[in-house]
Structure 1
Amino acid sequence: MDNRVNFHQSLVLLQQNLFSMGSQVELLIHQAVEALARMDEKLAKQTIEQDDQIDDMLIRIEESCLRLIALQQPMASDLRIISIALKIATDLERIADHAVDIAKICIRLNGEELVKPLIDIPRMAELTKIMLRDSLLAYTERDVHRAAALAEKDDEVDKIYSSVVNEINHLMTTDFARNRQLSQLMLAALYLERVGDHCTNIGEGVIYMVTGKRKDLNV
């Protein structure tokens, strides 16, 4: 009985650590896009430096999961909870990498005046942050419906991304510097589209964890 209580407490702590990691990753997305919108190199560098914290969190969560598997020998349903936690942590780390990629774009543009104020890219960022929060809530609440609803939000992110690509293609001229900036902005939108995909990956993991069945939300 004591072992089971300890196991449950360890799972609760694992979920808390995932939420802490998710909150930090969400902050990096916000900072990276804010830095790009304002051409704030200082904030961009701060975002890149903070990525080390995410890597440390990933390592700690991986160690916790492996320790639970080794010491508790969990049953199939509990093993799915732990294995999905490992997958979520990996997706969170990759989302943080995309935030860093966006911050690096800000630095590469080196304070250039933007061709036009950013509107759709911040919209994409806000949607992906909502998706990130929903995916983690779906995990902790074992909420299959919340997880499945991520697909609809991801479709919206994809639509905005397509709109950004179309707009940037129309803004291209024979001006090399202008086209270079526009290409970098298109990359930023692509990184956010991939963030949405990682969130749906988490949702798929939640559905499998609860039902034992695979469901593709990226269709």
Structure 2
Amino acid sequence: MILTGAGRGFCAGTDLKEMSEFTKDPRVTRNTWLLQKHMANIIELMRHIPQPVIAAVNGPAAGGGASFAMAADIRIASTNAKFINAQINVGMSGADMGSSFMLPRLIGVSKAAELIYTGRPVLADEGERIGLFNKVVAPEELMDTALEYAKILLGKSEMGLLLTKECLNAAMDGSSLDAQLHIENRSQTLCAAVGSFGNNASNFTNKDDKK
């Protein structure tokens, strides 16, 4: 699955004018809670759908848009990309839509704290250097690069990808080594049981024989 933005930006997050009107409603507490739960649910869905999610970050990813990028499994950015964990800049908490969970795991606690507290923008080259983006390419190469990654993943077994994503999610949740080994052992057993290993191993061996 490839996630990208329409137009010049990846996702600018909440409409600030609309949010300003939203906060004037006497039911603001209830409405904000429901909105947050709805948006947070999208992040959970991205992490738990069986397919790896590739974010093709074509421009600014701000606020909730930054959270969508963080929730992806792989992030490819164009040189026009800009990452801004912007909520702290408009009077809200800098921790939003999973950012306080995802960002420290992607770039480390110290750097994540800097970006969450300051709300400063991160351009594409810095994002690649600190591990936020897997790869940075020219704007005209962005979708082709994302599709190349997708093509590689499509060549893997469906069961293998699903269980690998489950293992990575468990590790991110703070699983112990013992628990992680148990999950991995289960995954390999299931792949062997459903024939995923046999089919793909045969294809892999045939490729080597042709070289």
Q: RCO greater where, 1 or 2, for CA within 8 Å and sep 6 or more?
A: 1
Larger relative helix fraction: 1
Structures share fold, TM-score greater than 0.5: no
TM-score by length of 2: 0.31
TM-score by length of 1: 0.30
Larger relative strand fraction: 2
